């Protein structure tokens, strides 16, 4: 029995509705897939349109030029001439002559062939004989060998003769067709211009729409940026618009870092694999720890590979930022890899009570920059009470604080002598006074503009007498002044550089009570003064700032790089944004790394109340430079092949010269084998570079080589009868010369230059012509003529060695990498001539 089957309700409507929904969804998915997630297609289309417009106009221009009367006239003319030439060539007389010559050439070619075959045969027999002779030592073989040798010589001569003939005949033959060929080439030249433009334009339609990817195999990096930035690596700019424009600064960035090797994101950051939207590709999305850097900030990533940012073209911000870190001593409170084991930025405060007066110290603590404009010390926003408490603590640490701080009577006569000495010793190269002077910025020397109201007279005397006895690691040279000279200088400084607003209410602490001293100590501990200064009683304290850079550039093996997920990230440049505490500013400023850093430097304590970082009063440019530098502090993972580590100099001065340097601080200005500063010329190869006699005279009485820039202090001050004693004694000068001649030499510099067969006079004349032809006088001065960019060459013949000049002219960058002087690519003859000419330039 069949059960009654229940009638089902009609589902047609439901099926229909669901079918509509699913079709709509499928259409939507298809649209998302092909259009929405592939925005690069639109960009590529736009780019190709722009390019085709440009190429089309170029093609039209070429065609217009081709059709211009002038070109057409020339074109027709050439065609006529070609026709005439062909006719000439086809004439029976010419043709016959041509055939005769051609036959001759064929004949010679045949002869050469035979000659070659004979030569090969002789050579084969010779080798066979040689083998037999070695095996059996038969004399007859040797005789045959000698005969063959003779034969070979004859054959070779014959062949040379034939070839000479051949070239003559070939030329003769060419003359027949020369005219024809010439016109054909010219016609081709005219036609080619149009054809090339046309081809370029037509080929454009074949360009496929596709993702353009740069894949770097060993670090598994895929950068698809060029899918939208189509023109970024091309040579001509089709549009100024983004993303079609070309890369700026190509000579520095692209040429040294070809994208095929480096990709894009290694420098720019961002998400190279993403192509589904501009924000995603640029990494401006949540959780992408390395968003694309905008504008100048892109310099940050140079540090990923380059260890030395001070000498990096195109990374000015980093250079500035790095100098700022060294100047302000950020590393004193924050650990920064690459800036370790540097001396503390601030002076030792252990004996501060002997050095300065109390009022000054309190004023200074309140606002250093307000007091002295060039001050490095930041503003801590101390109240007057707090400032006195700190001053009390510091004074209490000085055992002997009952000293005379009064300025006393000024001896104006002595002060005048001091003024002369101040000038001769070039104090103002390093020390500014009221922000004037101090041209050598890399060495920070205190502004002495109000030193008279700050410093204790006796301390100043002791300091000038021997700076190291107060501060062993000081950069101040010991000028070996006599006592009279020192007193004169002290008198000058104390009388000249006075703060007229200074109120010497109390030069000593009024009262030193235990409570205030204790409070001062607590404040010093809280604000970490011991980071920059040596403070008595707090020697063991650790710097208080957070880490800024955990590891200096680490170069990992390929496998180690990607598997580093989960490693502790602690460098500020790629620390996740969640770890930055925006405090009360969370809703007020953009929550990204760059805004945080900029705000932190602008107003360090604005995030929360209890922050302790002081205000360095950076200006906008400083903040920009420091931000770029900090953004580049990452736990970088780059393979070894990209690294450009900082050259580490293990060079140490030795012997007596080291003692002299210790005293007068040559390396404050000069650099020797990577040690020292770049203010004055590099002395690494000075022994090979300059002549001994010149060096001796120079050290006795430094003269001026580069008038516009800087001068070495006068070390010997014997022209002033009142100041007899010199700084460098005769024996010291000899020590320096000996050291230069033995240690600071280069094997690359020849002692003598090669001879090119010309007489000395001829060489000199040729050199002089070359000197003016190449426009050397635009930068260099000889006598009273010439420019002042390069060194004065009036006396160069007495100063430099000929080997150095010769080598230097080959490539000026060999010895001075960032020299302004261009490389003219002189050949050896020219260099000999120029060297001879320059060596003849001598002051009589």
Partner 1 sequence: MKNPFTQFRKSIVWKSIFRRDNKDTQRNRARAISGNVFLHFHPVKIRESAIKYKFTWGMGGITFLLFIILFVTGVFLMFYYTPSADQAYWDVKDLEYQVPFGMFLRNLHRWSAHLMVITVMIHMFRVFMTGSYKPPRQFNWVIGVVLLLLTLLLSFTGYLTPWDQLGFWAITVGTNMAAAAPFIGFEGPFSEQIGITVYNDIRFALLGGSTVGQSALLRAYVWHCIGLPLIALIFMFYHFWRVRKDGGISGPNINNTGIN
Minimum gap (Å) between residue 371 Cβ and partner 1 = 50
Show contacts with partner 1 in window 37-66 (CB under 8 A): 37
For partner 1, which residue of 29, 153, 252, 816 counts as binding (CB under 8 A)? 29
**For residues 574 and 556, what is the distance between their CA atoms, to the nearest angstrom?**
17
Residue 280 sits in the site that holds partner 1 (CB under 8 A): yes
Between 227 and 425, name the residue whose CB sits nearer to partner 1: 227
Between 558 and 704, name the residue whose CB sits nearer to partner 1: 558
**Residue linked to tokens 């516009």:** 708
Minimum gap (Å) between residue 216 Cβ and partner 1 = 12
Letters for 516-555 (x = contact with partner 1 by CB under 8 A, - = none) are ----------------------------------------
Between 288 and 555, name the residue whose CB sits nearer to partner 1: 288
Q: How far is CA 64 from the centre of its chain?
A: 47
Q: How far is CA 372 from the centre of its chain?
A: 33
Sequence-distant (≥ 6) Cβ neighbours of residue 234 within 8 angstroms: 246
Collapsing DSSP to helix, strand or coil, 672 comes out as: strand
Between 213 and 840, name the residue whose CB sits nearer to partner 1: 213
Minimum gap (Å) between residue 377 Cβ and partner 1 = 42
- The DSSP symbol for 793 reads -
Minimum gap (Å) between residue 559 Cβ and partner 1 = 7
Compute how many residues bind partner 1; rule: CB under 8 A.
20
Between 109 and 554, name the residue whose CB sits nearer to partner 1: 554
Minimum gap (Å) between residue 468 Cβ and partner 1 = 53
SS (H, E, C) 427-441: HHHHCEECCEECCCC
Minimum gap (Å) between residue 271 Cβ and partner 1 = 8
| Stretch of residues binding partner 1 (CB under 8 A), selected from 49-57, 267-275, 414-422, 835-843 | 267-275
| Stretch of residues binding partner 1 (CB under 8 A), selected from 273-281, 583-591, 603-611, 647-655 | 273-281
**For residues 115 and 367, what is the distance between their CA atoms, to the nearest angstrom?**
97
Between 264 and 683, name the residue whose CB sits nearer to partner 1: 264
| Backbone torsions φ then ψ of 697, nearest 5 degrees | -65, -40
Between 211 and 538, name the residue whose CB sits nearer to partner 1: 211
Q: First and final CA of the chain: distance in angstroms?
A: 139
For partner 1, which residue of 41, 165, 200, 273 counts as binding (CB under 8 A)? 273
Between 142 and 273, name the residue whose CB sits nearer to partner 1: 273
Letters for 154-193 (x = contact with partner 1 by CB under 8 A, - = none) are ----------------------------------------
**For residues 395 and 46, what is the distance between their CA atoms, to the nearest angstrom?**
73
Minimum gap (Å) between residue 383 Cβ and partner 1 = 46
Letters for 3-22 (x = contact with partner 1 by CB under 8 A, - = none) are x--x----------------
Mind giving me the DSSP string for 249-277? STTTTTTTS-HHHHTTHHHH-S-TT--S-
Between 32 and 153, name the residue whose CB sits nearer to partner 1: 32
Minimum gap (Å) between residue 838 Cβ and partner 1 = 59
Minimum gap (Å) between residue 275 Cβ and partner 1 = 5
Between 6 and 134, name the residue whose CB sits nearer to partner 1: 6
**Cβ burial, residue 832 (10 Å; 0-12/13-18/19+):** buried
Minimum gap (Å) between residue 549 Cβ and partner 1 = 22
Minimum gap (Å) between residue 341 Cβ and partner 1 = 33
> Facing residues of 356 across strands?
455
Residue 26 sits in the site that holds partner 1 (CB under 8 A): no
**For residues 104 and 777, what is the distance between their CA atoms, to the nearest angstrom?**
59
| Nearest by Cα to 486 from 769, 725, 744 | 725
| Backbone torsions φ then ψ of 675, nearest 5 degrees | -105, 140
Show contacts with partner 1 in window 550-589 (CB under 8 A): 559, 562-563, 565-566
Between 219 and 589, name the residue whose CB sits nearer to partner 1: 219
Minimum gap (Å) between residue 274 Cβ and partner 1 = 5
| Stretch of residues binding partner 1 (CB under 8 A), selected from 161-169, 269-277, 442-450, 787-795 | 269-277
Between 29 and 261, name the residue whose CB sits nearer to partner 1: 29
Residue 275 sits in the site that holds partner 1 (CB under 8 A): yes
**For residues 686 and 738, what is the distance between their CA atoms, to the nearest angstrom?**
11
Between 290 and 622, name the residue whose CB sits nearer to partner 1: 290
Minimum gap (Å) between residue 822 Cβ and partner 1 = 46
| Stretch of residues binding partner 1 (CB under 8 A), selected from 106-114, 162-170, 275-283, 345-353 | 275-283
**Residue linked to tokens 């014997």:** 718
For partner 1, which residue of 68, 95, 163, 220 counts as binding (CB under 8 A)? 220
739, two tokens: 């050291």
| Nearest by Cα to 684 from 702, 670, 696 | 670
What angle in degrees, to the nearest 10, is found between the helix axes of 692-700 and 730-742? 140
| Nearest by Cα to 440 from 289, 327, 332 | 327
Question: Phi-psi bin for 269: left (phi > 0), alpha (psi -120 to 50), beta?
Answer: left
Between 472 and 559, name the residue whose CB sits nearer to partner 1: 559
Q: What is the largest CA-CA distance in the chain?
A: 144
| Nearest by Cα to 440 from 665, 685, 617 | 665
Sequence-distant (≥ 6) Cβ neighbours of residue 181 within 8 angstroms: none
Q: Which long-range contacts (CB under 8 A, 24 or more apart) does 540-547 make?
A: 543/332, 543/333, 543/334, 543/335, 544/333, 544/612, 545/330, 545/333, 545/334, 545/335, 545/613, 546/334, 547/334, 547/335, 547/336, 547/571, 547/572
**For residues 27 and 31, what is the distance between their CA atoms, to the nearest angstrom?**
6
For partner 1, which residue of 112, 122, 274, 410 counts as binding (CB under 8 A)? 274
For partner 1, which residue of 2, 13, 436, 784 counts as binding (CB under 8 A)? 2
Minimum gap (Å) between residue 327 Cβ and partner 1 = 38
Minimum gap (Å) between residue 286 Cβ and partner 1 = 13
For partner 1, which residue of 276, 413, 435, 640 counts as binding (CB under 8 A)? 276
**Residue linked to tokens 């032809």:** 773
Between 577 and 789, name the residue whose CB sits nearer to partner 1: 577
| Nearest by Cα to 283 from 225, 221, 209 | 225
Note the residues at the interface with partner 1 (CB under 8 A).
2-3, 6, 29, 33, 37, 211, 220, 222, 271, 273-276, 280, 559, 562-563, 565-566
């Amino acid at each position: 029995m069949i059960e009654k089957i229940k009638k089902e309700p009609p589902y047609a409507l439901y099926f229909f509705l669901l079918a509509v929904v699913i079709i709509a969804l499928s259409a939507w998915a298809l649209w998302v897939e092909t259009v929405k997630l592939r925005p690069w297609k639109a960009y590529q289309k736009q780019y190709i349109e722009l390019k085709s417009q440009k190429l089309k106009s170029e093609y039209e221009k070429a065609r217009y030029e081709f059709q211009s009367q002038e070109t057409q006239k020339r074109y027709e003319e050439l065609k006529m001439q070609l026709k005439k030439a062909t006719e000439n060539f086809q004439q029976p007389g010419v043709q016959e002559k041509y055939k005769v010559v051609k036959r001759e050439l064929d004949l010679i070619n045949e002869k050469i062939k035979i000659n070659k075959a004979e030569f090969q045969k002789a050579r084969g027999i010779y080798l066979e004989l040689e083998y037999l002779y070695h095996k059996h030592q038969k004399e007859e073989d040797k005789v045959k060998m000698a005969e063959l040798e003779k034969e070979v010589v004859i054959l070779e001569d014959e062949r040379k003769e034939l070839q000479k003939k051949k070239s003559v005949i070939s030329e003769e033959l060419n003359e027949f067709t020369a005219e024809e060929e010439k016109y054909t080439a010219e016609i081709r030249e005219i036609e080619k211009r149009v054809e090339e433009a046309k081809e370029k334009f037509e080929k454009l339609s074949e360009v496929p729409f596709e993702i353009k990817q740069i894949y770097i195999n060993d670090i598994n990096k895929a950068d698809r940026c060029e899918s939208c930035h189509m023109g970024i690596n091309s040579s001509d700019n089709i549009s100024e618009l983004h993303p079609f424009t070309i890369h700026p600064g190509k000579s520095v960035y692209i040429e040294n870092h070809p994208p095929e090797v480096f990709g894009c994101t290694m420098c720019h950051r961002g998400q190279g694999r993403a192509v589904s939207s501009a924000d995603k590709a640029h990494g401006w999305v949540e959780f992408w720890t390395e968003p694309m850097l905008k504008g100048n900030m892109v310099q940050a990533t140079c540090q990923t590979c380059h260890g030395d940012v001070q000498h990096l073209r195109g990374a000015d911000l980093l250079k500035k930022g790095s100098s700022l870190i060294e100047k302000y001593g950020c590393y004193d409170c924050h650990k920064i890899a690459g800036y370790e084991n540097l001396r503390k930025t601030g002076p030792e405060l252990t004996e501060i009570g002997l050095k300065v007066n109390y009022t000054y110290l309190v004023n200074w603590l309140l606002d250093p920059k307000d007091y002295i404009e060039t001050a490095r010390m930041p503003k801590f926003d101390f109240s007057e009470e707090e400032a006195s408490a700190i001053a009390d603590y510091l004074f209490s640490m000085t055992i002997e604080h009952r000293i005379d701080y009064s300025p006393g009577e000024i001896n104006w006569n002595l002060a005048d002598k001091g003024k002369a000495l101040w000038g001769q010793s070039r104090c103002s190269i390093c020390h500014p006074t009221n922000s004037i002077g101090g041209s050598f910025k890399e060495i920070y020397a205190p502004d002495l503009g109000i030193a008279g109201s700050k410093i204790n007279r006796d301390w100043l005397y002791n300091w000038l007498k021997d700076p190291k006895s107060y501060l062993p690691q000081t950069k101040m040279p010991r000028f070996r002044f006599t006592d009279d000279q020192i007193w004169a200088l002290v008198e000058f400084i104390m009388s000249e550089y006075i703060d007229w607003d200074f109120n010497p209410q109390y030069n000593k602490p009024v009262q030193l009570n235990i409570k205030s001293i204790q409070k001062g100590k607590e404040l010093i501990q809280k604000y970490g003064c011991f980071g920059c200064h040596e403070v008595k009683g707090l020697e063991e304290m650790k710097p208080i700032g957070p880490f800024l850079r955990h590891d200096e550039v680490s170069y990992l093996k390929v496998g180690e790089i990607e598997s580093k997920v989960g490693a502790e990230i602690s460098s500020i440049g790629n620390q996740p944004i969640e770890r930055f505490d925006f405090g009360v500013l969370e809703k007020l400023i953009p929550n990204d790394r760059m805004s945080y850093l900029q705000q932190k430097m602008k107003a360090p304590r604005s995030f929360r109340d209890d922050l302790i970082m002081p205000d360095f009063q950076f200006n906008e440019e400083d903040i920009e430079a420091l931000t770029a530098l900090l953004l580049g502090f990452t736990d970088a993972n780059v393979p070894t092949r990209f690294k450009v580590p900082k050259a580490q100099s293990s060079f140490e001065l030795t012997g007596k010269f080291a003692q002299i340097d210790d005293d007068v601080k040559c390396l404050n200005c000069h650099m020797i084998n990577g040690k020292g500063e770049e203010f004055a010329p590099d002395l690494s190869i000075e022994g090979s570079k300059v002549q001994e006699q010149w060096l001796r005279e120079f050290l006795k009485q430094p003269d001026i080589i580069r008038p516009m820039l800087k001068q070495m202090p006068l070390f010997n001050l014997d022209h002033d009868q009142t100041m007899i004693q010199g700084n460098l004694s005769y024996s010291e000068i000899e020590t320096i010369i000996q050291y230069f001649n033995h240690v600071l030499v280069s094997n690359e510099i020849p002692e003598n230059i090669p001879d090119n067969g010309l007489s000395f006079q001829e060489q000199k004349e040729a050199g002089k012509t070359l000197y003016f032809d190449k426009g050397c006088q635009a930068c260099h001065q000889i006598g009273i003529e010439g420019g002042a960019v390069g060194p004065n060459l009036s006396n160069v013949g007495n100063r430099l060695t000929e080997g150095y000049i010769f080598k230097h002219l080959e490539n000026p960058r060999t010895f001075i990498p960032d020299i302004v002087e261009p490389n003219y690519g002189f050949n050896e003859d020219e260099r000999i001539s120029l060297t001879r000419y320059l060596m003849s330039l001598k002051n009589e």
